[in-house]
Chains A and B, each alone.
Chain A
Amino acid sequence: MKIQEIENIEISLLLEAIYGRYGYDFRDYARATVERRSRLFAKNTGLKSISELIPRIMRDEMFFERLVKEFSITVTELFRDPSSYKELKLKVFPILKTYPFIKIWHAGCATGEEVYSLAILLKQEGLYDKATIYATDFNDEALEVAKNGIYSIDNMKQCTANYLAAGGTDALSDYYYAKHESVIFDKALRKNVMFANHNLTTDGIFGEMHLVMCKNVLIYFNKTLQNKVLNLFCDSLIHSGYLCLGSKESILFTDVENKFENIDKGERIFRKITGTANV
């Protein structure tokens, strides 16, 4: 048997072990990235193969916690993919304004930069006060960072450029203050934000949403899991609710292809055209 075939079996066994022992289900994640992270983790912990991870994972909860951290994606930035925010502001916010209250689910929010991004734009459009934002992730450590809203100052120049490209109207610095090497976001931005642990692979619907944001999460899933999660989003949305995905994600060739219509040129904001929420 070729070495890469053996390694493929090792990865499957590892994911099965994690699921059986801890209930975290990575079996339907896009394999290449999980494999890369497993290899890196094994190497960084001084182990020679992926299968050597398995006994450690089974007996050592702390070790598992470290692996989960490795597996969960926390790469994000303020106003990442600014044109999608601009489209939201131009095409979705005017409709949201017509509702007496709005519920937004930001699924897979990681360290929260994009939650603050959304909150700022909602404020500028006079929508924030009637909004509730549910910001969820399965990584508790990332959620803690999100709750604090303190980020490194290093990338602020790029983020400010993104913010302007996203159609932000006043100075971004109105929403944070800088201290040492950090920027600290205004507490008022999270007044209507509920941060909560939610795992898209295993947890269900928890509310009736007007907008679901989930950017650069689905790319980490295989087709099966993508369909499952897209159905979850579809069932969570009210009739005519909106779904906003990452710039390289699409509902084309998925289960929900016919349940949404595309409303922007970039094909990443979709409007639900069937049924009401199945909550």
Chain B
Amino acid sequence: MSDYSAIVMGMSAGGMEVLINIFLNLDKSFPLPVIIVQHLHPMHKSELPDILRRYTAMEVLEASEKCVVEPGKIYLAPADYHLLVERDATISLSNDEKVNYSRPSIDLLFESAAYVWGDKLIGILFTGANNDGAEGIKAIKKYGGLTIAENPDTAEYSAMPGSAVDTGCVDLIYSKEEIKLYLEKLSVDKL
């Protein structure tokens, strides 16, 4: 059995490049659900799930209200809604005010997931030009989860992973390639 129950990820500017790379070698047998907030323009009709499907054999879904998260699947936050996780591992969407000028906000996903999964959670924060996600990383750490940040030196935009690292709550600082390998290792460990 894996030590973990779920992975949450956050990314902003430059995130597309991350998304289309890190899941390339993974498929539906991946042992954990992956829930992602990628900042999107609110008026954007999200084509993100369609795009990502071309770059992974995992199941890719736009997170819908009350859906139960399951292993082997990637859940993407819809544009202009916050995505939170409930204690029964279902998804809640919210229309609350923007947090860090963002809706969806990475902090809200990370914090709510930390309360649900505690030390069974992995949180990974990637490239971005703001500081959304830093509070979320702190919450994941506080509740015993594993925190990973993309190396600000090699990330396309360093501000977001950089402010997470500055909190002192990041366990592992990996390049994008190392995160990809880490996920692939998680996948193999389960077999």
A residues lining the B interface (CB < 8 Å): 2-4, 7-8, 30-33, 35-36, 73, 75, 216, 219-220, 223, 246, 248-250, 253
Contacts and interface: CB of A to CB of B under 8 A. Distances in A.
B93 interface: yes
Interface residues of B, number: 23
A73 B95 contact: yes
Interface string B95-121: 111000000000010011011101000
B97 A248 contact: no
Contacts of A31: 86-87, 92
B190 interface: no
Given A2-B118, A36-B108, A246 B95 contact: yes
Contacts of A248: 64-65, 78, 81, 93
Given A36-B112, A248-B78, A250-B65, A30 B95 contact: no
Nearest to B81: A248
B165 interface: no
Nearest to B62: A248
B87 A8 contact: yes
Given A31-B87, A36-B96, A219-B93, 12 more contacts: A2-B118, A3-B118, A4-B116, A4-B143, A32-B84, A32-B92, A33-B92, A33-B96, A73-B96, A75-B97, A248-B78, A253-B66
B84 A75 contact: no
A32 B95 contact: no
Contact of A219 (B65, B118, B143): B65
Contacts of B116: 4
Contacts of B115: 4, 7-8, 32, 35
Interface string B114-155: 111010000000000000000000000001000000000000
Given A33-B84, A36-B108, A36-B112, A4 B93 contact: no
Interface of B: 64-66, 78, 81, 84-87, 92-97, 108, 111-112, 114-116, 118, 143
A251 to B, nearest CB: 11
B59 to A, nearest CB: 19
5 contacts: A2-B118, A30-B84, A73-B95, A219-B92, A248-B78
B32 to A, nearest CB: 19
A44 B114 CA distance: 21
A219 B94 contact: yes
Contact of B111 (A36, A216, A219): A36
A75 B93 CA distance: 14
B79 to A, nearest CB: 10
Contacts of A246: 95
A220 B95 CA distance: 9
A216 B96 CA distance: 10
In the complex, which of the residues B96, B114, B115 has the most CB atoms of chain A within 10 Å of its own CB atom?
A: B115
A75 B99 CA distance: 13
A246 to B, nearest CB: 7
Contacts of A250: 64-65
A220 B96 CA distance: 10
Contacts of A3: 118, 143
A219 B94 CA distance: 6
B94 A220 contact: yes
A118 to B, nearest CB: 18
Contact of A4 (B81, B108, B118): B118
* 5 nearest A-B residue pairs (beta carbon): A32-B84, A216-B95, A30-B92, A32-B112, A4-B115
Nearest to A215: B95
Nearest to A83: B45
In the complex, which of the residues A7, A8, A219, A250 has the most CB atoms of chain B within 10 Å of its own CB atom?
A: A219
Contacts of A8: 87, 115
A250 B108 CA distance: 23
A33 B87 contact: no
Contacts of B85: 32
In the complex, which of the residues A7, A30, A73, A75 has the most CB atoms of chain B within 10 Å of its own CB atom?
A: A30
Contacts of B96: 33, 36, 73, 75
B191 to A, nearest CB: 29
A149 B13 CA distance: 37
Contacts of B64: 248, 250
Contacts of B84: 30, 32-33, 36
